[in-house]
Amino acid sequence: MRRKSIKLFAACVVGWGALTSCAMSKTSQPRAFYTETQVVYFGFDQSFLHADNKTRLTALAGRLQVSPRARVLVEGHTDTVGDASYNEILAEKRARSVGGYLIQAGASPQQITFLSKGEREPLMTENSASAMNRRAEIRIHFLRRGTNEHHAGKRRWKKGRVR
């Protein structure tokens, strides 16, 4: 019998520099790992963090400190305005801004991987909604409590890919 997957979605708050917690998915059969996704939005041509982002990232860093086997992938994104090579650099600055703050707040550097997506993966294609494309996505890969990592099968990020 196939088990059906149940997806739970949380509303995403959109705003300048807003940190949101978006979709989390759960299956009817417990998995050894679960992934949480959070998003930090940036202003046009900006890569600095606002105070409200720092508060939430500090809380996330605290969770990472008590979960040393958790792994984090921070992907930087931009809108399509401007040169693609410049946007690639800006996206990396955004990813490093978020990841660097997590490390500064106490997360281990070995837990965090940075990746620049530039303008290649927009959330919205309309120019009026390009603010949603100026973001850094944080994917946190947690091991469930009581699960032996050896039996769960280790999953690692390498160059931005889960393997």
Superfamily assignment of 10-145 in CATH? OmpA-like domain (3.30.1330.60)
Taking only the tens place, the pLDDT of each residue in 122-134 is 777 776 677 888 8
Q: Quote the tokens at residue 52.
A: 């409200």
Reported pTM: 0.68
Does residue 56 contact residue 99 with C-beta atoms inside 8 Å? no
Q: Is 39 helix (H, G, I), strand (E, B) or coil?
A: strand
pLDDT band at 144 (very low <50, low <70, confident <90, very high): low
Can you tell me the distance from the alpha carbon of 58 to that of 149, in angstroms, rounded to the nearest whole number?
A: 26
Place of tokens 């550097």: 109
Taking only the tens place, the pLDDT of each residue in 93-122 is 999 999 999 999 999 999 999 999 888 887
Angle at CA of residue 159, ends 155 and 163, nearest 5°: 25
Q: Where are the domains of the chain?
A: 10-145
